[in-house]
Amino acid sequence: MARVLVVHGELTPRLALQTILRAGGYAVDVAATPAEALAMLDESAYELVLSDAQFGTGEVGPDLLAYARVKDYRPATAVITSYRPYLRRRSSPPSQNVSVCTENLPHLLGKVAELIGIRASRRYRPLRQAV
């Protein structure tokens, strides 16, 4: 079972994502603060880390995901938001943003599976042929 870390400062979206992902067959840990997430990233290995972009008044999510990407276990990472205009004003590639709305739950689960699959193919590269 793939492990996912959800980092979101608001209780409702955090619990909603946890419930949706668990129903989709994933093992899910949640963190309410960047500090809590950093500790969890150091203690456990995750296939995917989903983080809200903003905590309080600053944009901490991208820094948190950058920290996750340099871990030895190389998790897939994505910014997640339940606020649609965020997607329009950001210039990040679409594969790194996932919007959570009730009408796109199948898309969300599909995107999570896709991100984990990309991570797996990146992590397990074939050995080079002996010359």
Angle at 3 between CA 88 and CA 123, to 5 degrees: 80
Residue span of the structural domain in which 9 resides: 3-123
Please report whether residue 28 resides in a domain.
Answer: yes
In sequence order, the β-bridge partners of residue 3 are 27
Report how far residue 53's alpha carbon sits from residue 123's, in angstroms, rounded to the nearest whole number: 25
* pLDDT for the residue 92: 46
Please report whether residue 129 resides in a domain.
Answer: no
Please report whether residue 114 resides in a domain.
Answer: yes
Please report whether residue 23 resides in a domain.
Answer: yes
For the stretch 47-65, pLDDT in tens is 999 988 776 556 777 888 8
Secondary structure of 68-111 in HEC code, one letter for each residue: HHCCCCCCEEEEEECCCHHHHHCCCCHHHEEECCHHHHHHHHHH
Residue 107, domain CATH: 3.40.50.2300
For the stretch 77-130, pLDDT in tens is 988 876 554 444 444 444 445 555 556 677 778 888 888 887 776 655 555 555
Please report whether residue 29 resides in a domain.
Answer: yes
Number of domains in the chain: 1
